[in-house]
């Protein structure tokens, strides 16, 4: 079948179930509501490729602002691979992100060479860690001067400001949707002046077989505060727990190992263009691999 027969169109609400099922089959462990949030972050930045009116692949190329974008959710159903359809989806995403200072992608080990040929350079590994939680962790004492707040009690502006100083690009629309989604739990450590010292979210996800939980984002001032947030998030959610930690934070791996997590997969963060000079030393868990 010729690649020219592929029709690429914007991802629609009716495509969400298919795309989520594809992501699950590829061991992405999509969270409940994740793809709908990706679509809302950049409504012009998610596409499906169709053959004879039937979706057979997808990709996201999301513009966070005028300088930074990210490519993810790049999937073609197995029976349609090797026919050039993935290249067409890839080119559509790059076209949408044209002119940005920096574009990021999370590369599977067998795709690193492909992305390098398109001008993407290695930055640092990202490791997926897993632990089986019994949901009965004892609550840790909150450090003096800080309050552990949940859900609607969390001051949005403080969390947005904290995130913007520690991520490669401010992402107010994405983060607002992410943290206010009804699935799962959001916790934050807030000081007496209303400032944020760490926050995290745990959400239900679809494993390749069965269901589990994903933690992300997880940001904190120190490993001790990150550990408190992690334990508090896991305390209410029994089962398989996953977290994607950037190796760019050298404290993340040792902390997760100490808390009983083990590495189950690894990808490589790659960038094309000028990377914003933002340290990731306070990032212990990424919100998602699909949008960086």
As a whole number of angstroms, the distance between CA 103 and CA 275 comes to 8
Peptide bond before 217: cis, by omega within 30 degrees of 0? yes
State pTM to two decimals.
Answer: 0.92
Q: How far apart are the first and last CA of the chain?
A: 33
Contact 109, 267 (CB under 8 A): yes
CA distances from residue 76 to 71, 83, 84, 136, 171 in whole angstroms, order as listed:
15, 10, 10, 40, 28
Pick from 198, 103, 216: nearest CA to 148: 198
pLDDT of residue 2: 46
Written as tens digits, the pLDDT of the chain (292 aa) is 444 589 999 999 999 999 999 999 999 999 988 888 887 788 789 999 999 999 999 999 999 888 899 999 999 999 999 999 999 999 999 999 999 999 999 999 999 999 999 999 999 999 999 999 887 776 667 888 899 999 999 999 999 999 988 877 778 888 888 888 988 999 999 999 999 999 999 999 999 999 999 999 999 999 999 999 999 999 988 999 999 999 999 999 999 999 999 999 999 999 999 877 777 899 999 988 888 7
Domain ranges, ordered by start, for the chain = 3-123, 127-267+276-285
CATH fold of 127-267+276-285 reads: Aminopeptidase (3.40.630)
CATH number, domain 3-123: 3.40.630.30
pLDDT of residue 139: 65
Q: Is the dihedral of CA 276, 281, 285, 287 positive or negative?
A: negative
């Amino acid at each position: 079948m010729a690649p020219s027969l592929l029709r690429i169109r914007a991802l629609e609400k009716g495509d969400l179930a298919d795309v989520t099922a594809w992501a699950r089959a590829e061991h992405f462990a999509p969270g409940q509501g994740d793809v709908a949030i990706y679509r809302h972050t950049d409504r012009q930045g998610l596409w499906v490729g169709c053959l004879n009116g039937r979706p057979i692949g997808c990709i996201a190329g999301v513009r966070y602002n005028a300088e930074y974008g990210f490519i993810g959710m790049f999937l073609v159903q197995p029976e349609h691979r090797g026919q050039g359809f993935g290249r067409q989806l890839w080119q559509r995403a790059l076209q949408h992100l044209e002119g940005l200072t920096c574009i990021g992608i999370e590369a599977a080990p067998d795709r690193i060479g492909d992305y390098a040929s398109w001008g993407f350079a290695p930055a640092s590994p990202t490791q997926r860690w897993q632990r089986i939680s019994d949901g009965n962790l004892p609550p840790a004492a909150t450090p003096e001067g800080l309050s552990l707040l949940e859900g609607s009690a969390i001051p949005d502006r403080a969390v947005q400001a904290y995130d913007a100083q520690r991520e490669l690009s401010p992402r107010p629309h994405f983060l607002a949707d992410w943290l206010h989604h009804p699935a799962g739990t959001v916790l934050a450590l807030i000081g007496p002046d209303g400032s944020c010292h760490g926050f995290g979210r745990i959400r239900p996800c679809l494993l390749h077989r069965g269901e589990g939980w994903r933690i992300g984002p997880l940001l904190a001032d120190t490993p001790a505060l990150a550990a408190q947030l992690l334990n508090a998030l896991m305390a209410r959610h029994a089962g398989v727990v996953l977290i994607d930690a950037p190796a760019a934070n050298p404290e993340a791996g040792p902390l997760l190992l100490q808390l009983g997590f083990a590495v189950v997969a690894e990808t490589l963060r790659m960038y094309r263009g000028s990377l914003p000079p933002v340290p990731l030393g306070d990032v212990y868990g990424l919100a998602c691999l699909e949008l960086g």
